[in-house]
Amino acid sequence: MMEDLAMQLFEILNNSIHAGASRIYLVIRDSIRDNEIVMTVEDNGRGMDAETLKRFSDPFYTTRTTRKIGMGVPFMKGLTEMCNGRFQAESTPGKGTRITASVQRDHIDTPEMGSLGELMMDCIQADEQIYYELTYQTDTQVFRFNTDQIKEQLQDVPISTPEVLLWIKGYIDENVQSVKEAIA
């Protein structure tokens, strides 16, 4: 697998950004006990009508092989199916969208998690006005991050300052790693 889960999640979060969301919540439950990784992205963007939502359930195929990073929702859906997981999209026009994608944790095709710090950094860079919240949890531990908390500490320094973004990336990756190791 060329892409890791974080890169694929960027596609999902990027859709939320483009849907005009002001709040985006990413929850990752990484469970050894249940042998699954469940990823949920929830936004308060413009949402989708039934027809747009239905396109997500088209069989997995892609012609967009030229894209550098992830390949949109159909790719994520195909990935979950390949990795014995499930994909679910719920949306209310004018209210928001929730995408849930899961994979079997020890499936041979399941990609690495990748850098959630980089993912958050990319999202903040894409739109720093948005409130982002990340929850990463295992069977025994949880790590939470949100951009309001950081903005409050920064006061007048923009969150998109390169030094700040790099700090955020490191902070998230370190904490996710230690939550992971706590159960190993």
Ligand X SMILES: Nc1ncnc2c1ncn2[C@@H]1O[C@H](COP(=O)(O)OP(=O)(O)O)[C@@H](O)[C@H]1O
Q: How far is CA 130 from CA 92, 148, 158, in A?
A: 20, 9, 13
Query: What is d(CA 153, CA 147) in angstroms, rounded to the nearest whole number?
Result: 10
- Least Å from the CB of residue 136 to ligand X: 21
Residue 173 is a binding residue for ligand X (CB under 6 A): no
Rounded CA separation 144/27 (Å)? 9
Q: Does 17 bind ligand X (CB under 6 A)?
A: no
Query: For Mg ion, which stretch binds (CB under 5 A), given 15-23, 37-45, 59-67, 76-84?
Result: 15-23
Euclidean distance between CA atoms 31 and 132, whole angstroms: 23
| Cα–Cα distance for residue pair 177/183, rounded to 1 Å | 11
Among the listed residues 60, 72, 98, 131, the single contact to Mg ion using CB under 5 A: 72
Q: Is 150 helix (H, G, I), strand (E, B) or coil?
A: helix
72 binds ligand X (CB under 6 A): yes
CB 8 to Mg ion: min, Å: 11
Interface with Mg ion (CB under 5 A): 15, 72
Interface with ligand X (CB under 6 A): 11, 15-16, 19, 43, 45-48, 52, 72-74, 97
